[in-house]
């Protein structure tokens, strides 16, 4: 009886006068349907990664709606507040990454039919960064107990840093690039590299995701209502941040302060002036050399027409003559537009060695200096140095090597300096592991041909100004550009680099958004290293950029004002920048610290999985 007294009386199902169940009491089918609607399953995950993919695409070229980027990661970050994601959820997150990268990189396929495969493979690889970001951020929040506004930007930047190095590096579409129009904000790049800008943007998205009311998670079917009802703070299971006014205020204040401090630093940095020169007021930059960047509009193919070499040379020579009207000190041609190879025969190579290495070519041809004489003639007529891009064929006793090079030709000596491209494009300029896996050559548009990597940066010095050349893709990687500029400083007689040069050939991409993105990326290198940049690019976009990342001059068609797929000249005085750069001195310290946070989160995931295996065993 005691037991009976303690037990609550069993509820009896209300009935109507006919003995049927009351309509207020759900049927089993209705209970199951309600549970399915309430269930926190894959259905609630599907839309969010696709929303982030769409917002990110709008943030970059060709749409270029930069403000959208500040909230682009909010849908993805809501998954961090979800109790569980599951394998099915992570598959949808990966599909969201693929939905962004495939259209963003569609310009890759324009280079050659073989590039369709690499466009798809690269997109598949990059899409994995989406689920890895969500998984590591969840670990940093739930296990390391970091606030979302710290964990999310640190993990994102750590993964951007990894992406810039893994598989030779791919740093395109860093989240920082979406903010290229906000000049004051991007000035923090001289402290942290472009990674600092990405950190600030992600922090704002993280604050918005953290402050979103928990009830919205139910509406989005990310969390069942019963999950929230079981917790006093109204938050999903495992979510460490409490919904208290002071915590919410601290989250919002932190994000706003981060943006304000970054923009404020940029305003102060841009307001700095140099000591006034004689008869000149104090100014932000000092006038430097007058440089003319030549831009032709030539379609590029992996199967170049040998008969077109003369025509290409004449077209660039004609533009060079037009550039003489501005009386430049230096004239820059794009990458690879001098098509004849420049031969570099080692002093100890004999005629017998040449016949052994290249038996089908007369040895006298490799001693020919026609290329140097031809460019010296143009330099003398212009009374200016010519910096141009072309191939180098180097012959040594152990064989022949090919380089993608930039040359300095002066009126006095012809070709007197050369830079060989250090960072080659995989499968475009060389085949990774091609020596051990020869069958990979079939996937290259060049077959079994490949370039040799150069040994380091070069200093082109002319009339007291030092130029550091970078070829094409090298300008897109922060650590590569920094390395080449530092090495050029070491080789410079004055111990400094005054101007960076980017010789590129974007004729592969038919005027697509790749050209715009290439210019945007280049602007961040100018800010990071506080060094002005001159770009000479086949098909565009050729430009002169100052140390604040501002485009001072663009090569445009005088009639149409178009900057892509036109023959044009960008000529102006390059503004020299004598401000120092913390990033140039110390490199990727900030990104490495963020990578350490991501690594710690990854370690916790690994430990948890190991424990589960041990328990199951």
Which secondary-structure segment (H or E) carries 190? Answer: helix 189-192
**How large is the average pLDDT for residues 62-71?**
97
DSSP conformation letters of 508-540: GGTT-HHHHHHHHHHHHHHHHHT--EEEEEETS
- Per-residue pLDDT for 6 more than 50? no
Distance CA 69, CA 84 (A): 26
- Of residues 199 and 360, more confidence is placed in 199
**Residue 306 C-alpha from the chain's centroid:** 34
- Per-residue pLDDT for 24 more than 60? no
Nearest-5° Cα angle at 193, 332 to 160: 105
- Per-residue pLDDT for 32 more than 50? no
What's residue 5's pLDDT?
37
- Kindly indicate whether the domain formed by 288-575 is annotated with CATH number 3.60.110.10: yes
- Comparing 222-231, 258-267, 511-520, 574-583, the range with the smallest average pLDDT is 222-231
- Comparing 98-102, 392-396, 573-577, the range with the smallest average pLDDT is 392-396
- Per-residue pLDDT for 103 more than 50? yes
Cis peptide preceding 339, ω within 30 of 0: no
What's residue 434's pLDDT?
54
Pairing of strands 568-576, 286-295: antiparallel
- Per-residue pLDDT for 590 more than 90? yes
What's residue 442's pLDDT?
60
- Other beta carbons within 10 angstroms of residue 215's beta carbon come to 12
Buried b vs exposed e over 158-172: b needs ≥16 C-beta within 10 Å? bbbbbbbbeebbbbb
What's residue 462's pLDDT?
96
Q: 235: pLDDT confidence band, cut at 50, 70 and 90?
A: low
**How large is the average pLDDT for residues 250-279?**
86
What's residue 515's pLDDT?
96
Q: 444: pLDDT confidence band, cut at 50, 70 and 90?
A: low
Length of the chain: 617
pLDDT in tens, 514-565: 999 999 999 999 999 999 999 999 999 999 999 999 999 999 999 999 999 9
Burial class from Cβ neighbours inside 10 Å (0-12, 13-18, 19+) for residue 445 reads middle
**How large is the average pLDDT for residues 17-26?**
51
What's residue 1's pLDDT?
42
Residues 6+ apart with CB under 8 A from 585: none
Q: 21: pLDDT confidence band, cut at 50, 70 and 90?
A: very low
Does the global pTM surpass 0.75?
A: yes
What's residue 38's pLDDT?
43
Pairing of strands 330-332, 385-396: parallel
What's residue 447's pLDDT?
53
Residues 6+ apart with CB under 8 A from 115: 108, 109, 445
Backbone angles phi, psi at 111, to 5 degrees: -70, -40
What's residue 153's pLDDT?
98
pLDDT in tens, 345-395: 888 888 888 888 888 888 778 877 888 899 999 999 999 999 999 999 998
Sheet with 551-554, edge to edge strand ranges? 460-462, 465-471, 499-505, 533-538, 543-545, 551-554
What's residue 12's pLDDT?
47
Burial class from Cβ neighbours inside 10 Å (0-12, 13-18, 19+) for residue 610 reads exposed
Distance CA 64, CA 182 (A): 12
- Comparing 19-23, 398-402, 478-482, the range with the smallest average pLDDT is 19-23
- Per-residue pLDDT for 422 more than 60? yes
Which of these, 461, 591, 474, 584, lies nearest to 158 by C-alpha position? 591
Distance CA 380, CA 273 (A): 37
**How large is the average pLDDT for residues 251-263?**
95
- Of residues 444 and 7, more confidence is placed in 444
CA atoms within 13 A on the CB side of 361: 14
**How large is the average pLDDT for residues 390-414?**
92
Distance CA 160, CA 595 (A): 9
Task: Put residue 432 in one of left, alpha, beta given phi > 0 → left and psi -120 to 50 → alpha.
Answer: beta
What's residue 353's pLDDT?
82
What's residue 206's pLDDT?
96
- Of residues 567 and 352, more confidence is placed in 567
pLDDT in tens, 127-183: 999 999 999 999 999 889 899 999 999 999 999 999 999 988 999 999 999 999 999
Average pLDDT, the chain: 86
- Per-residue pLDDT for 344 more than 50? yes
Cβ–Cβ under 8 Å, residues 430 and 449: no
What's residue 162's pLDDT?
97
- Per-residue pLDDT for 281 more than 80? no
Distance CA 521, CA 535 (A): 12
Q: Where are the domains of the chain?
A: 38-268+591-616, 288-575
- Per-residue pLDDT for 459 more than 70? yes
Residues 6+ apart with CB under 8 A from 502: 469, 470, 471, 472, 474, 475, 522, 533, 534, 535, 536, 537
What's residue 410's pLDDT?
96
- Per-residue pLDDT for 100 more than 50? yes
- Per-residue pLDDT for 217 more than 80? no
């Amino acid at each position: 009886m005691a037991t009976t007294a303690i037990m609550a009386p069993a509820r009896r199902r209300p009935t109507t006068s006919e003995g049927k169940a009351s309509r207020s009491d759900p049927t089993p089918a209705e209970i199951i349907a309600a549970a399915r609607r309430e269930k926190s399953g894959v259905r609630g995950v599907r839309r969010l990664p696709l929303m982030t993919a769409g917002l990110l695409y709008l943030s970059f070229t060709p749409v270029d709606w930069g403000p959208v980027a500040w909230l682009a990661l909010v849908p993805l970050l809501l998954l961090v507040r979800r109790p569980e994601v599951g394998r099915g959820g992570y598959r949808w997150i990966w599909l969201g990454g693929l939905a962004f990268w495939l259209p963003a990189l569609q310009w890759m396929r324009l280079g050659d039919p073989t590039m369709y495969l690499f466009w798809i493979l690269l997109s598949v690889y990059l899409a994995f960064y989406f689920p890895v970001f969500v998984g590591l951020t969840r670990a940093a929040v739930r296990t390391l107990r970091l606030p979302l506004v710290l964990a999310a930007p640190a993990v994102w930047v750590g993964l951007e840093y990894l992406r810039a190095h893994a598989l030779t590096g791919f740093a395109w579409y860093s989240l920082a690039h979406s903010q290229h129009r906000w000049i004051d904000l991007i000035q923090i790049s001289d402290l942290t590299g472009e990674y600092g800008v990405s950190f600030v943007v992600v922090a704002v998205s993280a604050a918005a995701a953290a402050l979103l009311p928990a009830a919205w998670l139910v509406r989005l079917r990310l969390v069942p209502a019963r999950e929230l009802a079981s917790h006093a703070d109204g938050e999903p299971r495992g979510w460490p941040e409490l919904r208290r006014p002071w915590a919410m205020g601290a989250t919002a204040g932190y994000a706003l302060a981060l943006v304000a401090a970054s923009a404020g630093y940029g305003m102060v940095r841009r307001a700095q002036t140099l000591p006034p020169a004689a008869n000149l007021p104090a100014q932000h930059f000092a006038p430097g050399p007058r440089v003319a960047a030549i831009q032709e509009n030539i379609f590029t193919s992996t199967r170049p027409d040998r008969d077109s070499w003369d025509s290409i040379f004449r077209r660039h020579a004609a533009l060079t003559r037009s550039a003489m009207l501005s009386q430049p000190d230096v004239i820059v041609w794009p990458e690879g537009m001098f098509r004849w190879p420049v031969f570099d025969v080692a002093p100890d190579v004999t005629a017998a060695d040449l016949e052994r290495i290249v038996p089908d070519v007369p040895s006298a041809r490799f001693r020919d200096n026609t290329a140097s004489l031809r460019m010296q003639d143009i330099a003398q007529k212009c009374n200016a140095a010519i910096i141009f891009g072309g191939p180098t064929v180097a012959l040594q006793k152990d064989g022949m090597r090919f380089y993608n090079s930039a040359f300095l030709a002066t009126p006095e000596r012809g070709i007197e300096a050369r830079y060989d491209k250090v960072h080659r494009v995989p499968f475009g300029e060389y085949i990774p592991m091609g020596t051990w896996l020869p069958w990979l050559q079939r996937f290259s548009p060049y077959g079994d041909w490949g370039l040799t990597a150069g040994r380091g940066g070069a200093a082109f010095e002319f009339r007291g100004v030092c130029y550091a050349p970078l070829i094409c893709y090298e300008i897109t990687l922060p650590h590569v550009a920094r390395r080449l500029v530092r090495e050029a400083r070491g080789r410079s007689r004055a111990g400094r680099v005054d101007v960076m040069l980017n010789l590129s050939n974007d004729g592969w991409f038919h005027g697509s958004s790749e050209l715009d993105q290439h210019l945007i990326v280049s602007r961040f290198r100018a800010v990071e290293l506080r060094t002005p940049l001159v770009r000479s690019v086949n098909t565009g976009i050729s430009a002169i950029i100052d140390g604040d990342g501002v485009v001072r001059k663009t090569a445009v068609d005088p009639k149409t004002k178009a900057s892509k797929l036109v023959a044009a000249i960008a000529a102006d005085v390059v503004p020299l920048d004598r401000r120092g750069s913390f990033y140039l001195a110390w490199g990727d310290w900030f990104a490495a610290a963020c990578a350490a946070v991501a690594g710690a989160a990854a370690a916790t995931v690994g430990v948890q999985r190991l424990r589960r295996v041990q328990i199951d065993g």
